[in-house]
């Protein structure tokens, strides 16, 4: 009971949460970047570069959102299984380590060659219209009998590109699970700080943690039109290539 009384001891008036817990605020900011950036890469990588079927694209998105369903269980784990007496910081460190390792593996692993061939300007050759009629991908082939919008479809340069989607999906899932674990620990710490706030200012801690995460995710979550293949600013910098959409 002594430990509980210490945890719930009132906080002294020492300024805003941002000035007293800069590390916690920085974590929420990074969570916003990753939670906004990872989903924003999916269309360019899976839908355009690898050209996976629609049902695979949908399943990939669902799998990468699945870790958010574990928040309640992760919170119970943090509360009931402390690591060397600590309930928050070890899980933050573990979560970011897992997330960082998965993102490094994604960066180092590379991708297979794109599904579609590209012309000299870097644009994909998907149909054999007039500008691309002489492209090698438009040579008549039994492998490409399809029609797109009434035009003959170009032959793919790497018909097996979609097979490379599996390991990318799993690494994105692991990265999401890692930062969700860290985010749950941060939410638990924020709740503890909120309970220690003076009654007249209670709620400020929770309110101050939302803007960093939301602002960091805005560039990647900017709405785009249904026909645009452009990435948003944060995602567009590392993926600045027409072959990735």
Residues 182 and 131 in one domain: no
Distances (CA, A) of 144 to 37, 55, 155: 34, 21, 5
When pLDDT is cut at 50, 70 and 90, the band that residue 69 belongs to is very high
Residue 149 domain boundaries: 116-157
Instruction: Give the residue, 235 or 203, on which the prediction is more confident.
Output: 203
For the cut 80, the answer to whether the pLDDT of residue 203 exceeds it is no
**Residues 107 and 125 grouped into a single domain:** no
Residue 111: per-residue pLDDT: 84
Residue 29 in any domain: the answer is: yes
**pLDDT, tens only, 100-144:** 999 999 989 888 888 888 777 777 777 776 555 556 666 555 444
Does one domain contain both 74 and 189? yes
| CA distance from start to end of the chain | 58
Banded model confidence at residue 223, pLDDT cuts 50, 70, 90? very low
Shared-domain flag, residues 127 and 181: no
Q: Helix 165-195 and helix 204-221: axis angle, to 10°?
A: 160
Whether residue 148 is found in the same domain as residue 93: no
Asked, for residue 130, whether it belongs to a domain, the answer is yes
pLDDT at 49 over 70: yes
pLDDT, mean over the chain: 75
**72: exposed, middle or buried (C-beta count within 10 Å: 0-12, 13-18, 19+)?**
exposed
pLDDT of 98 strictly over 60: yes
């Amino acid at each position: 009971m002594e430990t509980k009384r210490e945890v719930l001891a009132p906080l002294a008036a020492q300024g805003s949460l941002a000035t007293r817990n800069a590390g916690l605020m920085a974590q929420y900011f990074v969570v916003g970047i990753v939670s906004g950036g990872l989903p924003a890469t999916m269309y360019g990588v899976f839908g355009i570069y690898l050209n996976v079927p629609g049902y695979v694209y949908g399943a990939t998105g669902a799998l990468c959102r699945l870790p958010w369903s574990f928040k309640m269980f992760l919170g119970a784990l943090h509360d009931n299984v402390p690591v060397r007496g600590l309930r928050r910081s070890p899980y933050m460190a573990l979560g970011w380590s897992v997330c960082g390792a998965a993102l490094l593996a994604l960066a180092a692993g590379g991708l297979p060659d794109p599904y579609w061939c590209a012309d000299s300007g870097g644009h994909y050759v998907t149909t054999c219209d007039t500008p691309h009629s002489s492209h090698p991908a438009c040579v008549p082939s039994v492998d490409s009998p399809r029609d797109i919008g009434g035009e003959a479809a170009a032959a793919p340069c790497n018909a097996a590109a979609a097979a490379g989607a599996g390991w990318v999906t799993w690494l994105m899932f692991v990265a999401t699970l890692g930062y969700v674990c860290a985010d749950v620990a941060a939410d638990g710490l924020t709740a503890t700080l909120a309970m220690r706030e003076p009654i007249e200012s209670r709620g400020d801690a929770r309110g101050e943690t939302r803007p960093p995460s939301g602002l960091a995710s805005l560039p990647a979550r900017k709405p785009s039109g249904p026909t645009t293949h452009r990435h948003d600013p944060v995602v567009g910098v590392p993926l600045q290539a027409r072959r990735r959409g």
